[in-house]
Amino acid sequence: MARSPEGPPPPPTVQKLRLRYAKRGPLRFASHRDLARALERALRRSRVPMAYSAGFTPHPKISYVGAAPTGAASEAEYLEIGLAERRDPEEVRAALDASLPPGIDVLECVEAAEGGGSLADRIDAARWSIELPGIEPEHLSAVVAEFLARDEVTVAKRTKNGLRDVDARGPVASASVGGAAGRAILHVVVRQVTPAVRPDDVVAALAAVADLRPPSPPRAVREAQGRLDGSGTVADPLGPDREARTRCQGEHAAV
């Protein structure tokens, strides 16, 4: 006979909140696992009434979406949490932000709209800024133009199953160059693929195209995540929830 967990089942999820947070400074070197542990500890310290899964080993209902690679900073990390009691999203954001170490900053918190689909379904691309120290913008512009003119640029990517050849050109939706003398900045929008093409893969592709090798390690910042529209813009994945909330408040005010 199958054994059942002792005690009553956990309270149901009554509210879902979606959060955008940043990882900055030295915290860009923290792994996703380290960040997840820090966030879960902060949720406990800030007394957020988390909902838990059922079973013998209940877990807080937290879903992470598209974590940035270790070593990259980000202004657009996302997670969704399930609550057993309703809370004001801004109060949750402020309490969680105060409980986290400097460098992990909770920027926004909104309530998930009913019937709005999953957060992951709203993300299929990311916009990156990649600083290339010691590279002139004019030189980078020429290399990027050559890169974009190719149909495919193959690079060796390390995966959990070892090295694998991947096309770093296909997922790149757009690329442009900015910066100043001696400090070129590559702005690039990359579609989600499997395995993921990261900023270091794009830099490796530039080296494959024109032997571009910065004298210092590039520094990447993920500026946005979302769905890529026809104009090449990466849409805000929290926008539909925010708009639904505003519309609902307007309807209540009109009654």
Q: Are both 130 and 187 inside the same structural domain?
A: yes
Domain stops at, among 121, 156, 177: 121
> How far, in whole angstroms, is CA 223 from its chain's centroid?
9
Tell me phi and psi for residue 22, to 5 degrees: -115, 150
Q: Are both 112 and 52 inside the same structural domain?
A: yes
180 within a domain of the structure (yes/no): yes
Q: Are both 71 and 145 inside the same structural domain?
A: no
Give the residue, 251 or 170, on which the prediction is more confident.
170
237 within a domain of the structure (yes/no): no
208 within a domain of the structure (yes/no): yes
**pLDDT band, very low/low/confident/very high, at 246 (cuts 50, 70, 90):** low
Q: What is the mean pLDDT of residues 216-222?
A: 96
Distance CA 46, CA 106 (A): 13
Q: Are both 127 and 111 inside the same structural domain?
A: no
What is the CATH number for 174?
A: 3.30.70
194 within a domain of the structure (yes/no): yes
* C-alpha count within 13 angstroms, C-beta hemisphere, residue 38: 19
Q: What is the mean pLDDT of residues 38-66?
A: 92
Q: What is the mean pLDDT of residues 60-79?
A: 94
* Chain segment 113-155, per-residue pLDDT in tens: 988 899 999 999 999 999 999 999 999 999 999 999 999 999 9
**pLDDT band, very low/low/confident/very high, at 247 (cuts 50, 70, 90):** low
176 within a domain of the structure (yes/no): yes
| CB proximity list for 170: less than 8 A, separation 6 or greater | 152, 193
What is the CATH number for 92?
A: 3.30.70.580
Cβ–Cβ < 8 Å for 80, 74 = no
Nearest C-alpha neighbor of 52 from the set 43, 60, 44: 60
Give the residue, 53 or 221, on which the prediction is more confident.
221
Nearest C-alpha neighbor of 127 from the set 35, 192, 83, 78: 192
242 within a domain of the structure (yes/no): no
249 within a domain of the structure (yes/no): no
**pLDDT band, very low/low/confident/very high, at 32 (cuts 50, 70, 90):** very high
25 is in which domain, residue-wise? 15-121
Tell me phi and psi for residue 88, to 5 degrees: -70, 125
Number of domains in the chain: 2
**Strand intervals (E) in the chain:** 15-23, 62-65, 73-83, 104-111, 125-133, 154-159, 162-167, 172-180, 183-191, 219-226
| CB proximity list for 216: less than 8 A, separation 6 or greater | 133, 134
Cβ–Cβ < 8 Å for 123, 224 = no
**pLDDT band, very low/low/confident/very high, at 49 (cuts 50, 70, 90):** very high
pLDDT at 231 over 80: yes
Domain stops at, among 94, 121, 148: 121
pLDDT at 161 over 60: yes
Distance CA 126, CA 171 (A): 10
Q: What is the mean pLDDT of residues 19-23?
A: 97
Q: Are both 137 and 112 inside the same structural domain?
A: no
- pLDDT of 230: 83
255 within a domain of the structure (yes/no): no
Q: Are both 91 and 134 inside the same structural domain?
A: no
